[in-house]
Amino acid sequence: MGDLGDRAIDQDDTTAASLSPSMLQITKGSGATFIGSVTGLLLAFISRLLIARFGTQAEYGLYVLALAILSIFGLVATLGLISGISRNIAAAQAKGQSWKTRQFVFASLAIVVASSVVLAMVLFLSAGFISSAFFSSTGACATVANICLRGAALSAV
């Protein structure tokens, strides 16, 4: 009876030892992702604080408007490939088909870059209409909005 218990403990130790490198890799990856996310959120918060502190209400409003439009266009530009590509890459890696992984990455990158360029051109060309539609009462504000939207379009590429 004691022999069976010893074998169970040995098997558990073997399983824990084989999972350790995998768990270490997962922990490192999630730690890097977490640190990057926190850093990005902190920088966004600081930039909004600086714009709110040193800019006018109109400038902050333009910043938020441009950021919202850029976020919407960025979401549309990815075409849902973020979740789809991760599923396909995981399946290819599980089957040991690293060449498919490279194909998935390059194809999705090409599609996203092409859609980003098209959407950036649409945003750039429609910036005048958007700025006059939202800021028709003040000419200077419409001009600044037009410039902000065109800058956002160029930064999307």
Count of H-run helices and E-run strands, the chain: 5, 0
> In one letter, which amino acid is 4?
L
User: Given this model, what pLDDT does residue 70 score?
Assistant: 75
CB 70 within 8 A of CB 155: yes
For 115-145, write each residue's pLDDT tens digit.
Answer: 888 887 777 777 777 767 766 555 555 666 6
Q: What is the pTM of this model?
A: 0.57
Question: Cβ contacts of residue 95 below 8 Å, gap of 6+?
Answer: none
In the numeric block, the tokens 């849902």 are attached to 80
Low-confidence ranges of the chain (pLDDT < 70): 1-19, 22, 131, 134-157
Question: Cβ contacts of residue 154 below 8 Å, gap of 6+?
Answer: 120, 124
User: Given this model, what pLDDT does residue 60 score?
Assistant: 82
> In one letter, which amino acid is 17?
A
